[in-house]
Amino acid sequence: MSKVIDFQTDPSGYHHWKVDYDGPVATVYMDVDEDAGLFEGYKLKLNSYDLGVDIELADVVQRMRFEHPEVKTVVMQSGKDLVFCAGANIRMLGGAAHSHKVNFCKFTNETRNTFEAAEADSGQKWIAAVKGACAGGGYELALACNYIMLTDDSTTSVALPEVPLLAVLPGTGGLTRVTDKRKVRRDRADIFCSIEEGIKGKRAKDWRLVDEVVPNSKFADTVAERAREFASSSPKADVEKGIALTPLNRTIDDKGVHYDLVEVEIDRAGRKATITLSGPETDAPASTDELVALGAEGYMLKLARELDDAILHMRLNEMDIGLWVFRTQGDPEKVAAHEAMLLDSDDFWLSNEILQYWKRVLKRVDVTSRSLAALVEHGSCYAGVLAELLFAVDRSYMMEDEFEGDNRPIATITLSQSNFGRYPMGNDLSRLETRFYGEPESVTKAQAHTGEALEAGEADDLGLVTMVLDDIDWDDEIRIFMEERASFSPDAMTGMEANLRFAGPETMETRIFGRLTAWQNWIFNRPNAVGETGALQRYGTGVRGEYNMERV
């Protein structure tokens, strides 16, 4: 078996990031250890990064939310002289498998989206304090921050040089954030993305590539002043102490991945994984004090963390498993009660963070390039947030009436208020709005049944599942579907699913995960980038890539 990529880490294991906490202000230093790459064969020079660097950054961002809710402003800066960040490591990209490159870009995009949304979701504003060369993925790190400060000296610039240097595109949203977020004029963006040397000082500010340019002699003081200023004006409530994100209880073996609440069973012959989520055994917390006391062991947070880790593990370590089938088992009333406790106290910091985390986990499901299905069996607990899985997958099947020899409670689906906007997709619509795009009356009809335990006939009438099946047809229909899905080309499936999942308006996020990913996926296969004489292979040799100049 190849090396298992582990997405679990903690500050004691960081190689590449350092964090200083000072009340409402935290400073995150990018100080990459060039000898601590995730794989052999390259050095992470000039604060360049690979997946391992981003796994640590994702952990920093997550712990900032839960362990340090007192933080209102976060400053990201370099721990090295003369360079902010050189972007994704080119040697890593040149030597990595195509699938790794694409999954690497997806995870880095998700990580950047998370700290970009921290101000709106959690009241934590991120400032990029750029000093030194800031190129490619390094500028994309800065772009995802809420405010960019640039020192005005001879060595500091921002750049997106991927097209002229590497024959690829900026992989983590650079093109889209320049136009959609920074509102850079299109022709200026064309110049900026076509030059190697980047843009400095006042011109960078005039073109809206950064928010503020500061003389080098005043830079450190001004960054500190701006961080305090933003913190003091933040509407975020003061919180004295967070909770500890303790390690997950997880076992990985040939049969799958096993947690306390999530079970991933892998069928290699059938190229499928069955992901079973268990409902809570205990009652919902009676108060926010009890929620805090439970910490990372609270049901809603624990389940989200385990599912998140399972998704990431399966994406990177089990790429041949093309079909994921979601199941749930448990008491739907208890699931609904646990979620209701959070919804009723969503102005409390921890309740809000758990709900925002579920939003991110469900978005991770949406953009996972696997065929996704869900089974609503007897004894299942698809209520509220777990019902969102039914609207995220490509197809869902529900048991109808009693099954011979099955004594579990009859299959039901229970909608909550959260299914109508609490967990929006990347297109800024709820999953039900996306499911019923162009049929707002169907959403209204479903909403009228909020809180009801809907059996198969009712769920089918409301359009909440793909198909309802009785005892006679269940086994054969499910088997035929799974065998058929596993027989299709995974490339065609990925393209079809990605096109069908995001109905409705396009947003910056859908453009990054849809349009950018599709183009980059194609470009990463082209000889101009990855062939023997391609730009990624020749980078650093002093010889430019040789290109087939045919436009296709």
Structure tokens at 370: 């696997």
124 or 486: whose pLDDT is higher? 124
Q: Quote the CA–CA distance of 49 and 32 in Å, as a whole number.
A: 7
Weakest mean pLDDT among 179-188, 432-441, 518-527: 518-527
In a domain, 484, yes or no: yes
Average pLDDT over residues 302-328: 97
What does the block give as tokens for 216? 């080098």
CATH assignment at residue 371: 3.90.226.10
d(CA 101, CA 123): 32
Say which residues have a Cβ less than 8 Å from residue 121's Cβ, sequence separation at least 6: 352, 356, 359
Nearest to 386, CA basis, from 351, 427, 423: 423
Domain membership flag for residue 237: no
What total of structural domains would you count in the chain?
A: 3
- Shared domain check, 304 and 188: no
pLDDT for position 156: 97
pLDDT of residue 522: 87
Residue 254: how many other CB atoms lie within 10 Å: 7
Residue 276 shares a structural domain with residue 223 = no
Same domain for 425 and 528, yes or no, is no
pLDDT band at 1 (very low <50, low <70, confident <90, very high): very low
Q: 137: which 2 tokens?
A: 């993925």
Please name the residue that has the structure tokens 């001879």: 154
State whether 165 and 275 are in the same domain: no
Mean pLDDT calculated for residue range 56-82: 97
User: What is the C-alpha to C-alpha distance for residues 107 and 543, in angstroms, rounded to an integer?
Assistant: 31
Collapsing DSSP to helix, strand or coil, 173 comes out as: coil
Closest among 518, 344, 502 to 434, alpha carbons compared? 502
Quickly count: other Cβ atoms within 10 Å of residue 503's Cβ.
Answer: 15
Confidence at residue 461, expressed as pLDDT on a 0 to 100 scale: 98
Mean pLDDT lowest among 49-63, 239-253, 520-534? 520-534
Mean pLDDT of 505-525: 88
CB 249 within 8 A of CB 259: yes
Average pLDDT over residues 455-474: 98
Mean pLDDT for the stretch of residues 190-201: 96
Are residues 488 and 527 both part of a single domain? Answer: no
Residues 487 and 513 in one domain: no
Asked if residue 175 has pLDDT above 60, the reply is yes
Residue-range definition of the domain harbouring residue 75: 11-232
Is residue 546 one of the residues assigned to a domain? no
Give the residues across from 398 on adjacent strands.
376, 468
Residues 202 and 340 reside in one and the same domain:
no
Give me the percent of the chain exceeding a pLDDT of 90: 91
Judge if 138 and 264 occupy the same domain. no
Region 11-31: mean pLDDT is: 97
Q: Given the DSSP bridges, would you call strands 262-267 and 272-278 parallel, antiparallel or unpaired?
A: antiparallel
Neighbours of 497 (CB within 10 A): 17
Hey, what are 174's tokens? Answer: 């650079």
- Is residue 125 located within the same domain as residue 139? yes
User: Exposure of 532 by Cβ count < 10 A (0-12 exposed, 13-18 middle, 19+ buried)?
Assistant: exposed
Contact 430, 362 (CB under 8 A): no
> Are residues 477 and 397 both part of a single domain?
yes
- pLDDT of 502 reads 86
- What's the pLDDT band for 303 if we cut at 50, 70, 90? very high
Asked whether residue 264 falls in the same domain as residue 364, the answer is: yes
Confirm whether 242 is domain-assigned.
no
**Domain annotation covers residue 543:** no
pTM (2 d.p.): 0.96
Q: Same domain, yes or no, for 281 and 390?
A: yes
Q: Would you state the pLDDT for residue 2?
A: 67
Q: What pLDDT is recorded for position 265?
A: 98
Q: What single letter denotes the amino acid at residue 249?
A: N
The verdict on residue 239 lying in a domain is no
- Is the pLDDT confidence value at 551 over 90? no
Q: How far apart are CA 174 and CA 181, in angstroms?
A: 10
Q: Find the angle CA(236)-CA(140)-CA(160) to the nearest 5 degrees.
A: 150
d(CA 442, CA 433): 9
Q: Mean pLDDT over residues 461-483, rounded?
A: 97
Contact 171, 137 (CB under 8 A): yes
Q: What is the pLDDT of residue 540?
A: 85
Beta pairing class for 323-329 and 125-130: unpaired
pLDDT band at 3 (very low <50, low <70, confident <90, very high): confident
Q: What is the pLDDT of residues 245-299, one digit of tens each?
A: 999 999 999 999 999 999 999 999 999 999 999 999 999 999 999 999 999 999 9
> Is residue 175 domain-resident?
yes
State yes or no: pLDDT of 342 exceeds 70. yes
Task: Say how far apart CA 162 and CA 193 lie, in whole Å.
Answer: 8
Residue 319 is assigned to a structural domain of this protein: yes
**Average pLDDT of the chain, as a whole number:** 96
